[in-house]
Amino acid sequence: MNYEVVLTCAVTGSGDSHLKHPGVPKTPEEIAKAAIEAAKAGAAIAHVHVRDPKTGDPCREMELYEETAKLIRESGTDVILNLTTGMGGDFVPDEEDPSKGGPGTDMITAAERVAHIERIKPEICTLDCGSFNYQATAYLATYEMLRESARRITAAGVRAELEVFELGHIWQAKDLIKEGLLDEKSLFQFCMGIPYGAEATTQNMVAMLAALPKDAMWGAFGIGRQEMPMVAQSVFMGGNARVGLEDNIYLGKGNFASNEDLVRNAVEIIEKMGGRVLSPEESRKKLQLNK
């Protein structure tokens, strides 16, 4: 059991949730506001993607990352900023020529995927540690791509949060650490229930936990209706937790959530289990972000 929990809120994500939930933040102002509200409700970390302010579609514009980070940092609210590097790896084979990308493809180099990290230097950034199928899309991150991203993240002085969707991703992450490309204090995040990675089950979390390096710092999240069960499961097994509109847009059937709502629910679960959520400064010490 983890009695001192680092809680992350993933405030917007990169999916099509904005087409389902009118309250998903889209503009830098809305995303920053959501991060601040989540922090005030108990989240120590805000995990941030950016979106096209006009359409709400996921995007990766440098200026939007810079504006969002600036608004959060200058808000007067302490929260650990965690930026994604997951954009730019989507491949959808063209129907006539599968060697080429068709509609929906968004492929850029490993260096381009982390360019905003090198410029903005958040305290944490994610690194999706391998390729996998995601419904009609394949997310591509070869080991050589991961090496390049890891080198650049480490050189920027940013702590990597290693997003692992299945056991092979943990294997790759461990090899990156062994090669000295990532800090041994890198954080592992179990991404549970994303099609088609590890299903959100206790058995899968046990297997993934057993595969981690000794004394690794880790957390987990589940999507949809598994969001809160995975909060409890992760904390019970010694991990940290994550919630937010990236992972789940409902409080209950037909009842839209806010990031603030989801954070409060997670805090209540953790406290009823006998734990407590750590402040941003306490979380920095636990995660050794200042070292």
Distance (Å, whole) CA 49 – CA 61: 10
pLDDT of 74 strictly over 80: yes
Query: How much is the pLDDT for 19?
Result: 87
CATH value of 4-287 in 3.20.20.70, 3.40.50.150, 1.10.10.10, 3.30.470.10: 3.20.20.70
Q: pLDDT tens-digit profile of 160-201?
A: 999 999 999 999 999 999 999 999 999 999 999 999 999 999
Query: How much is the pLDDT for 208?
Result: 98
Q: pLDDT tens-digit profile of 118-156?
A: 999 999 999 999 999 987 899 999 999 999 999 999 999
Kindly state the percentage of the chain with pLDDT values over 70.
100
pTM of the model: 0.96
Q: pLDDT tens-digit profile of 78-90?
A: 999 999 999 999 9
pLDDT of 113 strictly over 60: yes
Query: How much is the pLDDT for 81?
Result: 98
Q: pLDDT tens-digit profile of 202-241?
A: 999 999 999 999 999 999 999 999 999 999 999 999 999 9
Question: Hey, where are the domains in the chain?
Answer: 4-287
Query: How much is the pLDDT for 14?
Result: 87
Q: What is the mean pLDDT of the chain?
A: 96
pLDDT of 291 strictly over 60: no
Query: How much is the pLDDT for 290?
Result: 73
pLDDT, mean of residues 103-122: 96
Query: How much is the pLDDT for 177?
Result: 97
Query: How much is the pLDDT for 102?
Result: 94
